Structure 1
Amino acid sequence: MDRRKFFKNGSLFTIGAVMMNPLEGSANVLDLEEVNKNKKAKNIILLVSDGMSTGTLNMADLFLSRKNGIGSNWLQLYKDNKVSRALMDTASASSIVTDSSAASSSWGGGFRVNNGVLNVSPTGEPHLPIWQKFKKGGKMAGCVTTVPITHATPAGFCVNSKSRNAQEDIAQQYLDLGFDIMMGGGANYFSPELRKDKKDMYAAFKAKGYQVVKTKSEMESASNSESVLGVFSDDGLPYYVDRNSDENLKKTIPSLAQMTQKAIDRMKNHKNGFVLQVESGKVDWAAHANDIAGLIHDQIEFDEAVKAAIDFAEKDKETLVIITTDHGNANPGIIYGKYANDNFDSIQKYTQTNEWILNQIKHDSTVSQVKEIIEKANGHSVADQEAKTVLGYYDGLHKEDGLYNYKKLPYRAFAEMQGKINSVGWISMDHSADYVELAMFGPGSELLKPFVKNTDLHYLMLQAAEVENKF
């Protein structure tokens, strides 16, 4: 198979890199091409920071640089010229602004579908998801995420469904299809006490030979010779900053990097290789809530998973690592001002998310109690009037809507109040049509063009692994 047939590595990439660093760039780019030339990707690890606007990537890197003197693993790959890099168009069949199911389906099925759908065309035809193609080709396949494992992004690589919301059915499809390791949240769709149909999916998975794990220690002790279903919360996993501020959560809930490492360990010795999707789904949820602590720390958690994947790939030499996002969300950024540096640095004192803060406040809380809760979580006090403004949203009359805002908490109002102190602004609480970052490391990365459609990634993965698109 001519691996360059579909994606010839554009000369623009080489020329651009040389012009940026004429002394070093050309050598590094040539080295990348020479190292990967004509090599097959035995394994593929695709990492998705769901809903990551460019500002999110930027702020996490600045946060780490200013805190530790070392930036993010993702951007260090750029600085070291270790990856091929592109911009990707994220549109769906129904809109220039995609949702996660259509975005994942573009990668999973190779075609653009309408928002809300998983690998079913606008005229009703199903598209075979790519993890099924790789399974048919003899590879192991799995997904790990910080949201329900049945959520849109992992599901887009695995199943067909006319609705992303059919998560009970998606759990059943996972069982029928026999993926090798699936871990995240989502007990609502597996537990007989929580499923609407009362079916015990845990028992069904066990009957099929799966190890079912529900805690970090159970995951760590699970055998790497048998399939694993890991479900660690009813819905999404706790935000990373909230988890790390709670010793019990740290002991019981694995991080995304720990789940990633477990998945690699489970599948790395398979003779035909493996494919793995890794998703930080709560980056998207934090963006929907304009929750800066949730956003930055979950992006940092994702970045730790990037390191786990790259560390493995550097030793393995046969693994293509793909790092990207499915769409932007809320487009946050640091706003110019005299005290922008110090204001942004104040986020380093945040020990809890806005979700945690706003759930601690009750309708009968006093002004002093509200101030105490905020100071404990954000490391600074607020004025009485600001506390009264927040408390005003708990009178049963003033409520905010918004995706994942089940309790109608005042996320937008609170973020606007925080912005006066941390210099972070947001353009919305929803997805955007941004072109997004796409980076690749390892065999197959030389196939990447400087600008691609999201659907192109489907065929690039098949091409890199030399798996015929015949299923």
Structure 2
Amino acid sequence: MNRRSLLKGGFLAGLGLPFIGLQDVVASPYTGAKKAKNIIMMVSDGMSIGTLNMADLYANRTFGKSSKWLGLYRDNKAVRALMDTASASSMVTDSAAASSSWGGGMRVRNGSLNVGMKGEKPQPILQKFKESGKKVGCVTTVPITHATPAGFCINIDNRGGQDIIAEMYLGLKFDVMMGGGHKYFGEKRAGGNLIPKYLTQGYKVAENRTEMMALDKSKPVLGLFAEDGMPYEVDHQHDAELMKSTPTLAEMTMKAIELMKDNKNGFALQVEGGKVDWAAHSNDLSGLIFDQLAFDEAVGKVIEFAEKDGETLVIITTDHGNSNPGLFYADEANKKFDSLQNFKHSNTWLLGQLNQSFSEQKIIDLIKDNQGFVMKSDDVKSLLVHFKDIVPGQLYNESNLPFYEYGKILGKYTDVQWAGMNHTGDYVELTMFGPGSENLKPFVKNYELHNFMLKAAEMPESLMVKA
């Protein structure tokens, strides 16, 4: 809400006029078509407010301009709200329950995808949009079978069954599914290779950037660009082979729009910056900031499309916070934060290169060459000790790397610190642009977005379970 709005409301009250609500006084930033022919929901998974803030600081200090997301606020182009992200089983949600609240219109327990506490199985929203004649799709930087895209698509009581989810997608015949997760579809899949079945059912399968760019809209599309999650953006930018072989989130998003935009009944697309969440779980600062900026690039492209199109509702949000990183006060905070501009690789990449038999100097050189700062001897010794303290089986840490210790050490050199390594119960940013955005209330619960999207598209609303 801007200062001018508050002043105008106060002026009317001072004149003794009846309060008629800000929406009656101040025009919505969007004044075009009333019906949303297209809906694009963009999710920066696991994005704490500190993540959004630091990405904007980085953009301003490095590129001399705001991030695209916060630029919408600065230019008064979008409507903004806070969203409660709880699940049916906890005030702190996981990604499966969070996406299910949007996809199914009800809160479910953590770990479940659109299966309620009493076994209810609401029809996921992309199935509804597909039945209404729209083209539908998901793009993500993590496996396409992961919790956030799956919550818009299917019903299954265990988010971990990604090989099963891959087979469930086959029967849905959605128009565009692109991201990582080749191992849940291809030869490494526990239940057998599904890709021949996808081809038999009329899909085009793309496995690299060149194949994706060549796709046309004659057939539904399955794009699989990594065995598991796609590479962190900071690693992608500094690897010529990855730049050539692997599309960015913005490229996948715009290709998906290109493939679906000419459908007479419109389209619905979910876009996820999934590795923002993985970086937060790993306290991986460069992984976090550069993937948030990659998501932001996709936001900018989508808003450009929506402004020209005039019939597209864009929803930008996150499913929950994660680890609550932030830039903390110190005498050299500016200089230390700006050192991020020297990072060529994520903590995940760097720790994966580090051999415990390396000499202290070799480790110092490795860090300087790839992250641009000189680590002190005591910190190197501490890091090596903590390789031995790792508990196997940690979330998103199959390689058993000392993420926590390295993130803590890195805080000395960047002044960015972390509150933990897991999801938080924070209320989160919810931003909208386009037809229907004028109806957004200042505070909503996550499951309310299901009917909000249906109403914006002038489709029948679901009977929601209140929570």
- TM-score, L = length of structure 2: 0.94
The AA in structure 2 aligned to 1:224 is: K
**Superposed displacement of residue 325, structure 1:** 0.2
**Superposed displacement of residue 201, structure 1:** 1.2
Partner in structure 1 of residue 32 of structure 2: 35
CA–CA distance in structure 2, aligned partners of residues 17 and 451 of structure 1: 20
CA–CA distance in structure 1, aligned partners of residues 198 and 399 of structure 2: 33
Residue 116 of structure 1: which of 111, 116, 120 is its match? 111
Report 1:152-301 matches (<5 A).
152-191=147-186, 193-198=187-192, 200-301=193-294
CA–CA distance in structure 2, aligned partners of residues 231 and 301 of structure 1: 19
Matched, 1:331 2:324: yes
Deviations 1:144-181 (A, max 9, x none): 00000000000000000000001111111111011000
Q: Partner of 1:35: helix, strand, or coil?
A: coil
Shift in alpha-carbon separation, 1:122–1:17, aligned structure 2, 3 A: farther
Partner in structure 2 of residue 82 of structure 1: 77
Q: Partner of 2:27: helix, strand, or coil?
A: helix
Q: Partner of 1:356: helix, strand, or coil?
A: helix
Deviations 1:227-262 (A, max 9, x none): 110000110000000011000000000000000000
The AA in structure 2 aligned to 1:154 is: P
Residue 442 of structure 1: which of 405, 428, 434 is its match? 434
Deviations 1:354-410 (A, max 9, x none): 00110011122211111111111211111222212212234x455576310112111
The AA in structure 2 aligned to 1:466 is: E
CA–CA distance in structure 1, aligned partners of residues 280 and 300 of structure 2: 23
CA–CA distance in structure 2, aligned partners of residues 58 and 105 of structure 1: 27
**Superposed displacement of residue 19, structure 1:** 2.0
**Superposed displacement of residue 343, structure 1:** 1.1
Matched, 1:305 2:292: no
Shift in alpha-carbon separation, 1:129–1:176, aligned structure 2, 3 A: same
Aligned Cα root-mean-square deviation (Å): 1.9
CA contact (8 A) 1:108 1:157 kept: yes
**Superposed displacement of residue 225, structure 1:** 2.4
Detail structure 1 runs of 4+ shifted over 4 Å in the superposition. 25-29, 396-401
CA–CA distance in structure 2, aligned partners of residues 345 and 221 of structure 1: 38
- TM-score, L = length of structure 1: 0.93
Residue 317 of structure 1: which of 291, 310, 314 is its match? 310
Q: How many positions carry a matched residue from both structures?
A: 452
Partner in structure 2 of residue 379 of structure 1: 372
Residue 444 of structure 2: which of 445, 452, 455 is its match? 452
Deviations 1:109-155 (A, max 9, x none): 00000000000001111111000011111111000000000000000
CA–CA distance in structure 1, aligned partners of residues 389 and 55 of structure 2: 36
Partner in structure 2 of residue 99 of structure 1: 94
Percent identical among aligned pairs is 53
The AA in structure 2 aligned to 1:433 is: G
Point out the more displaced range, 325-334 or 355-364.
355-364
CA–CA distance in structure 2, aligned partners of residues 183 and 33 of structure 1: 30
CA–CA distance in structure 1, aligned partners of residues 389 and 285 of structure 2: 26
Q: Partner of 1:113: helix, strand, or coil?
A: coil
CA–CA distance in structure 2, aligned partners of residues 208 and 28 of structure 1: 54
CA contact (8 A) 2:103 2:114 kept: yes
Gaps of 5+ in 2: 10-21
Point out the more displaced range, 373-382 or 211-220.
373-382
Q: Partner of 1:243: helix, strand, or coil?
A: helix
The AA in structure 1 aligned to 2:190 is: K
**Superposed displacement of residue 470, structure 1:** 6.5
**Superposed displacement of residue 448, structure 1:** 0.3
CA contact (8 A) 2:32 2:310 kept: no
CA–CA distance in structure 1, aligned partners of residues 30 and 412 of structure 2: 47
Deviations 1:29-61 (A, max 9, x none): 41536435xx10000000000000000000000
Q: Partner of 2:29: helix, strand, or coil?
A: helix
Q: Partner of 1:88: helix, strand, or coil?
A: strand
Residue 145 of structure 1: which of 140, 160, 163 is its match? 140
**Superposed displacement of residue 339, structure 1:** 1.1
Matched, 1:18 2:11: no
CA contact (8 A) 1:206 1:212 kept: yes
The AA in structure 2 aligned to 1:392 is: V
**Superposed displacement of residue 16, structure 1:** 6.6
Deviations 1:400-446 (A, max 9, x none): 76310112111111111110110001000000000000000000101
CA–CA distance in structure 2, aligned partners of residues 401 and 388 of structure 1: 24
Q: Partner of 2:268: helix, strand, or coil?
A: strand
CA contact (8 A) 1:400 1:409 kept: no
